[in-house]
Amino acid sequence: MTENISVAVTGASGAQYAIRLIECLIRAKVKVHLLISDAAEVVIRTETDIPLPELKQEKQAFLSDFFNAETGQITYYANDDWFSPLASGTSAPKKMVVCPASGGSIAAIAMGACNSLIERAADVVIKERNQLIMVPRETPVSDIHLENMLKLSRLGCVILPASPGFYQNPKSLDDIVDFVVARILDQLDLKQDLLAPWGER
């Protein structure tokens, strides 16, 4: 496998972005360290037909099968798993994507709250000066949201709103989702064929 990347799915609408991102990471032979908040589980069950199991031990097997991952390619962590390697600067992956990123998760991460493993994992990436990509999907945004995103941006985080373009003439909802996921993959410096570079379309 090429590298380790953490993916945190939080409770904003847009579960499809996270699902497509994970599919692409698995295809790219990335080892995915996956976190799903309680609110995100509600969103996934609301916005998709994915029958996500309730129990942690069942989630691990289900997600590996669902994404057709190689053995050990996806590791699922409960949000209170404080012994996870994601909670330590000595062992956490150097890249993390929060997709979609709810306004609440952005606020907690900007404050360094660390009340959940998602928040702690993001805090570790920031403190180690590694790569954190936030994919907010709130609209409209308030001054509070903007100030929190600006704070994270000034800390070196990438703020990549789920704002699809239309110059590629999308023909389906999948094309719109792929636009955003392609931009995430570009930021991760991973080869992608979802969206051709500008001038090659």
DSSP per position, 86-146: GG-TTTS-SEEEEEEE-HHHHHHHHHT---SHHHHHHHHHHHTT-EEEEEE--SS--HHHH
The pLDDT value given to residue 20: 97
CA dihedral for 32, 34, 183, 94, sign (positive or negative) = negative
Distances (CA, A) of 196 to 73, 105, 149: 27, 31, 28
The pLDDT value given to residue 200: 66
Q: Strand, helix or coil at 39?
A: helix
Residues of the chain with pLDDT under 50: none
* pTM listed for this prediction: 0.95
Q: Is the peptide bond before 140 cis (omega within 30 degrees of 0)?
A: yes
Render pLDDT for 75-84 as a digit per residue (tens, 0 to 9): 999 999 999 9
**b/e string for 55-66 if b means 16 or more Cβ within 10 A?**
eeeebbebbbeb
Render pLDDT for 91-118 as a digit per residue (tens, 0 to 9): 999 999 999 999 999 999 999 999 999 9
CATH number for region 4-187: 3.40.50.1950
DSSP state of 85: G
Report the alpha-carbon distance of residue 86 to residue 90 in Å, rounded.
9
The pLDDT value given to residue 168: 85
Quick one: tokens of 36? 């799903």
The pLDDT value given to residue 31: 97
Q: List the chain domain ranges.
A: 4-187
The pLDDT value given to residue 136: 98
The pLDDT value given to residue 35: 98
Closest residue by Cα to residue 131 from 100, 152, 114: 152
Q: Where are the beta strands (DSSP E) in 142-195?
A: 158-159
